Structure 1
Amino acid sequence: MTERPDQSNLAVVAHARDDLRVEAVPEPAPAADEAVIAIAYGGICGSDLHYWLHGAAGQSILREPMVLGHEVVGTVLAAAADGTGPAAGTPVAVHPATVVDDGVTPWPRDRANLSPRGTYLGSAARLPHTQGAFARRVALPARMLRPLPAGLDLRTAAAVEPASVAWHGVERAGDVRGARALVVGGGPIGLFAVAVLAHHGAAEIAVSDLAAEPLERARRLGAHTVFDARDAEGIAAYAADVVIEASGSVPGLASALSGAIRGGRVVMLGLQRAGEIPVEIATAITRELTLSGSFRFDTEIDDVIAALADGSLAVEPVLTDDYDVADALEAFARASDAAASSKVLLRF
């Protein structure tokens, strides 16, 4: 008997640069410590776009077909056979990281996101690749699953993973209560950073971007001031106590340094390109700026889930578009237009 298309396990698979396909994949065959999840929503991340557009995300080069996706939420269809994790029927968010110690590289054991060979769902950093979760049904380790509180709908919960990235970045700046903050870059992560800064009690929040729509979204999230990213004079005059660089661009990093007050804190949340980049490091030295990197997240996911559930973290303006998984190619094209959209969701 031929399976009806609406019952097939459709997945979003990157085969090569410019070769993104929606195709049926085998039903999951879970290990004893894995649960089967019916994915409800998945958010398209910048790394997903890079695998589609360039066949690589930074130094992670696509060398075999890979199911994309790590920003996913859903419902447990079958609990893990070993008895770990949530029961069938539980709505869950997914923490997509796996801690891997290479046995050689020193790293702080209380910061799991810095494990030297850690893997992430939907990543080509290792071979074989770590398959992602953009599929109707997937098997995932029970340890990745976070039960969702009653009342937190799955669409809103689709923001958990990227909001956790932003939460980690803001907390890398230390206590921001009463601070004057600047977010450089109004993409999804930058907008989530605005929401987290508002949640954490920043007194004033400014955002810079090249396009008008992201700046309007930032205002809806609580930004008090917005700048055209080309307004170097205005950004420099803002003199922020805390700057979150979320663009991942060289001009954005320059704006972050210039926009910080003397003695201020700058968090580099946006991932810069590999290799050497020009940086006005003398500015950081003479102004005694504190520069901090920020990479993924760890236990912050639990705080984000709680804040989304009680309504203290507002993210709705970031979630701009929903597409059925069958229309994933259209969804990816929409997500690549940063001026017109922010976080684009796939419905499974």
Structure 2
Amino acid sequence: MTRSSALPASAPAVVAHGKGDLRIADVPLGEPASDQAVIEIAYGGICGSDLHYWLHGAAGESILKDPLVLGHEVVGVVARAAVDGTGPAVGTPVAVHPATPGPGAAKYPSDRPNLSPGCTYLGSAARHPHTDGAFLRYANLPTRMLRTLPEGLPLRRAALVEPASVAWHAVARAGNVRGKSALVVGCGPIGTLAIAVLKRAGASHITAVDMYAKPLEIAAAVGADALLQAADDDAISAVEADVVIESSGNHFGLASAIKGAVRGGRVVMVGLLPSGAQPVAISLAITRELELVGAFRFNDEIDEVIAALADGSLVVDPVITHEYALLDGLEAFEMAKNSAMSGKVLLNFGA
């Protein structure tokens, strides 16, 4: 099969070549496999991992060895359906579940494929060859990754499906939060989306912590009841929250999360700390019998998130603070790294 004349042979993409080397450049568009649809990408959200590949040439222990097309928070419209007959028809708006679980089912719970050994993710250098992402105008994606979006759900709002699913998974790891007090440490996009999920789930009182005014403003807009500065140790310690979501991704935030939890409470760690040893007052967690729980990516929560966005019960619009055309992608990344000024920064691939 030859590529349709309606689709170009190449398209502009956001490509990380190494530390400090980010380019907007045309990449060739290969022929899709039989189970792949061609998606015309509408919006893409810049994630912390995208920033790390640009700023550090690595995201945690995932080190760039070759140029990598970034991007896993994407939505778009089917431009060509898969030839094997699977997946949605041409013209269908879709969100993308960017994970491909790996083998080794005996090594993880069957209902938690996010933990599978060898799992790959769009826009990730965790494996070699790397798994290219979807920050490009047209992306060939397996139909199993595609989720049809309900009528009336704007693509711009749906661009938050993937990070909202991460937040939804983190809140689920906290257990039933209805009627419980919650503390969210770190109000970047994941933290503020966690606040929105906690609000929808019936948390009785939500306290938000951050270093900067803008993230706290967003936190209030999506449901936080109280706002605290990260440096105010006494106020954080006085919160005594039943449930804490740690989304700052640094050991100072984790220390605040432990201090702000009630005795016997649960701390969900969704912010990915740097690899290696971390200076954390773990003795306090022991003497207070805290439960420290990890949260990594998500599974089928994406379907619940889409439904909640469609019916309006999950309020996320305030999290989006900036939007840039793809060709202004370098400027967009500069804004996204400025956590004092931005929430979620979107790339508009059709602008």
C-alpha separation between the residues in 2 aligned to 1:214 and 1:15?
A: 30
- The alignment's TM-score, normalised by the length of structure 2, stands at 0.96
- Secondary structure at 1:162's aligned position in 2? helix
Identity among equivalent positions (%) equals 64
- 1:247 lines up with 2:231 in the alignment: no
Q: Runs of at least 4 residues of structure 1 off by over 4 A?
A: none
Residue 282 of structure 1: CA displacement?
Answer: 1.5
Deviation at 1:285, TM superposition (A): 1.4
CA contact 2:41–2:139 (8 Å) conserved in 1: yes
Encode CA deviations 1:168-196: one digit per residue, 9 max, x unaligned. 00000000001110000011100000100
2:225 alignment counterpart: 224
List gaps (5 residues or longer) in structure 2.
none
1:124 aligned onto 2:136: no
Distance 1:15 1:218 in 2: 34
Deviation at 1:102? 4.2
Instruction: Give, as a single letter, the amino acid of the residue that structure 1 aligns with 2:315.
Output: A
Alignment of 1:98-247 (within 5 A): 98-102=100-104, 106-247=107-248
Give, as a single letter, the amino acid of the residue that structure 1 aligns with 2:147: R
Partner Cα separation in structure 2 for residue 199 and residue 190 of structure 1 = 14
Q: Classify the secondary structure of the residue corresponding to 2:135.
A: coil
Equivalent residue letter for 1:16: G
Partner of 1:37: 39
Distance 2:206 2:195 in 1: 7
Report the AA paired with residue 115 of structure 1: S
> Does the Cα contact within 8 Å between 1:194 and 1:223 map onto a contact in 2?
yes
Q: Distance in 1 between matches of 2:44 and 2:102?
A: 25
Aligned partners of 1:234, 1:7: CA distance in 2, in Å? Answer: 57
Asked if the contact 2:82–2:143 (Cα under 8 Å) also holds between the matched residues in 1, the reply is: yes
Instruction: Indicate if the aligned counterparts of 1:28 and 1:36 stay in contact, CA closer than 8 A.
Output: no
Q: Is the 8 A contact 2:336 2:345 kept in 1?
A: yes
Once residues 179 and 128 of structure 1 are traced to their aligned partners in structure 2, the CA distance between those partners, rounded to angstroms, is 45
Partner residue in 1 for 2:71: 69
Please give the secondary structure, in 2, of the residue aligned with 1:216: helix
CA contact (8 A) 1:207 1:227 kept: yes
Q: TM-score, normalised by structure 1?
A: 0.97
**What letter is aligned with 2:54?**
W
**What amino acid maps onto 1:127 in structure 2?**
H
Aligned counterpart for 1:88 among listed residues 69, 87, 90: 90
Q: CA deviation at 1:27?
A: 2.2
Structure 1 residue 314 displacement after superposition: 0.4
Work out the CA distance in 2 between the residues paired with 1:27 and 1:65. 15
Measured against aligned partners, the alpha-carbon deviations of 1:69-101 in whole angstroms (never above 9, x if no partner) come to 000000001111111111111000000000111
Alpha-carbon separation, structure 2, partners of 1:273 and 1:102: 26
The 2-side partners of 1:153 and 1:336 are apart by 26
User: Retained in 2: the 8 A contact 1:37–1:140?
Assistant: yes
What residue identity is the alignment partner of 1:134? Answer: F
Deviation at 1:41, TM superposition (A): 0.1
Aligned to 2:269: 268
C-alpha separation in 1, matches of 2:264 and 2:110: 30
How large is the RMSD of aligned CA atoms in angstroms? 1.3
